Amino acid sequence: EPEVTQTPSHQVTQMGQEVILRCVPISNHLYFYWYRQILGQKVEFLVSFYNNEISEKSEIFDDQFSVERPDGSNFTLKIRSTKLEDSAMYFCASSTRAPRETQYFGPGTRLLVL
Protein backbone atom coordinates (compact mmCIF):
# COMPACT_ATOMS: atom_id res chain seq x y z
CA GLU A 1 0.00 0.00 0.00
CA PRO A 2 1.41 3.44 -0.91
CA GLU A 3 2.59 5.53 2.00
CA VAL A 4 4.10 8.90 2.82
CA THR A 5 7.76 8.70 3.80
CA GLN A 6 9.86 11.24 5.69
CA THR A 7 13.57 11.76 6.28
CA PRO A 8 15.37 12.02 8.56
CA SER A 9 13.48 10.29 11.35
CA HIS A 10 15.41 12.32 13.91
CA GLN A 11 17.32 15.59 13.63
CA VAL A 12 19.30 17.39 16.31
CA THR A 13 20.48 20.91 15.55
CA GLN A 14 21.87 23.96 17.27
CA MET A 15 19.72 27.05 17.73
CA GLY A 16 20.08 29.40 14.75
CA GLN A 17 20.95 26.65 12.29
CA GLU A 18 18.94 25.85 9.20
CA VAL A 19 17.21 22.50 8.82
CA ILE A 20 15.48 20.89 5.88
CA LEU A 21 12.92 18.19 6.49
CA ARG A 22 12.08 15.95 3.57
CA CYS A 23 8.93 14.14 2.55
CA VAL A 24 7.93 11.91 -0.32
CA PRO A 25 4.14 12.08 -0.67
CA ILE A 26 2.01 9.35 -2.19
CA SER A 27 2.68 9.47 -5.91
CA ASN A 28 -0.75 10.36 -7.33
CA HIS A 29 -1.58 12.91 -4.65
CA LEU A 30 -1.89 16.59 -5.49
CA TYR A 31 -2.12 18.32 -2.11
CA PHE A 32 0.70 18.35 0.41
CA TYR A 33 0.77 19.45 4.01
CA TRP A 34 3.07 20.00 6.96
CA TYR A 35 1.89 19.68 10.55
CA ARG A 36 3.78 19.75 13.80
CA GLN A 37 3.22 18.32 17.24
CA ILE A 38 5.04 19.74 20.22
CA LEU A 39 5.53 17.10 22.89
CA GLY A 40 2.31 16.53 24.79
CA GLN A 41 0.29 18.93 22.63
CA LYS A 42 -2.13 18.72 19.73
CA VAL A 43 -1.17 18.17 16.13
CA GLU A 44 -1.14 21.65 14.54
CA PHE A 45 -1.46 22.63 10.90
CA LEU A 46 1.44 24.58 9.39
CA VAL A 47 0.92 24.84 5.65
CA SER A 48 -0.76 23.33 2.61
CA PHE A 49 0.70 23.29 -0.88
CA TYR A 50 -0.95 22.76 -4.24
CA ASN A 51 0.07 23.38 -7.82
CA ASN A 52 3.53 24.54 -6.74
CA GLU A 53 2.36 27.22 -4.37
CA ILE A 54 1.20 27.65 -0.81
CA SER A 55 -2.58 27.47 -0.66
CA GLU A 56 -3.08 28.00 3.07
CA LYS A 57 -0.83 28.63 6.06
CA SER A 58 -1.25 29.07 9.77
CA GLU A 59 0.02 31.86 11.99
CA ILE A 60 2.80 29.49 13.08
CA PHE A 61 4.19 29.45 9.53
CA ASP A 62 6.12 32.71 9.68
CA ASP A 63 8.99 34.00 7.57
CA GLN A 64 11.48 31.51 8.98
CA PHE A 65 9.55 28.66 7.35
CA SER A 66 9.41 27.81 3.67
CA VAL A 67 8.23 24.87 1.60
CA GLU A 68 9.29 23.62 -1.77
CA ARG A 69 8.62 20.83 -4.21
CA PRO A 70 12.00 20.73 -5.92
CA ASP A 71 11.16 17.81 -8.19
CA GLY A 72 8.28 15.51 -8.99
CA SER A 73 8.51 13.49 -5.81
CA ASN A 74 9.97 15.41 -2.87
CA PHE A 75 8.27 18.01 -0.68
CA THR A 76 10.48 19.88 1.78
CA LEU A 77 10.06 22.10 4.82
CA LYS A 78 12.92 24.48 5.58
CA ILE A 79 13.36 26.24 8.87
CA ARG A 80 15.93 29.00 8.30
CA SER A 81 17.05 29.87 11.81
CA THR A 82 15.82 27.35 14.30
CA LYS A 83 14.64 28.32 17.75
CA LEU A 84 14.30 26.22 20.86
CA GLU A 85 10.52 26.28 20.52
CA ASP A 86 10.75 24.69 17.07
CA SER A 87 11.51 21.38 18.78
CA ALA A 88 8.63 19.10 17.81
CA MET A 89 7.54 16.19 15.65
CA TYR A 90 6.96 17.39 12.11
CA PHE A 91 4.51 15.42 10.00
CA CYS A 92 4.06 15.55 6.27
CA ALA A 93 0.71 14.56 4.77
CA SER A 94 -0.75 14.28 1.31
CA SER A 95 -4.18 13.90 -0.25
CA THR A 96 -5.59 13.47 -3.72
CA ARG A 97 -7.57 16.67 -3.50
CA ALA A 98 -8.92 18.97 -0.82
CA PRO A 99 -10.91 19.86 1.17
CA ARG A 100 -12.87 16.68 1.78
CA GLU A 101 -10.36 14.06 0.81
CA THR A 102 -8.47 12.07 3.38
CA GLN A 103 -4.99 13.19 4.34
CA TYR A 104 -2.42 10.45 4.82
CA PHE A 105 0.38 11.13 7.26
CA GLY A 106 4.03 10.18 7.24
CA PRO A 107 5.85 8.79 10.28
CA GLY A 108 7.28 12.17 11.20
CA THR A 109 10.66 13.77 11.84
CA ARG A 110 11.56 14.44 15.44
CA LEU A 111 13.42 17.76 15.55
CA LEU A 112 15.35 18.74 18.62
CA VAL A 113 16.83 22.24 18.79
CA LEU A 114 19.54 22.72 21.42
Partner 1 sequence: TQLLEQSPQFLSIQEGENLTVYCNSSSVFSSLQWYRQEPGEGPVLLVTVVTGGEVKKLKRLTFQFGDARKDSSLHITAAQPGDTGLYLCAVCNFGNEKLTFGTGTRLTIIP
Distances (CA, A) of 21 to 1, 38, 59, 99, 101: 23, 16, 20, 24, 24
CA 12/CA 10 separation, integer angstroms: 7
Pick the binder of partner 1 from 19, 21, 29, 31 (CB under 8 A). Answer: 31
For position 75 contacting partner 1 by CB under 8 A, the verdict is no
- Whichever of 1 and 85 has its CB closer to partner 1, that residue is 1
CA 4/CA 2 separation, integer angstroms: 7
For position 39 contacting partner 1 by CB under 8 A, the verdict is no
For position 45 contacting partner 1 by CB under 8 A, the verdict is yes
Binding site for partner 1 (CB under 8 A): 4, 31, 33, 35, 42-45, 48, 50, 55-56, 58, 89, 91, 93, 98-100, 102-108, 110
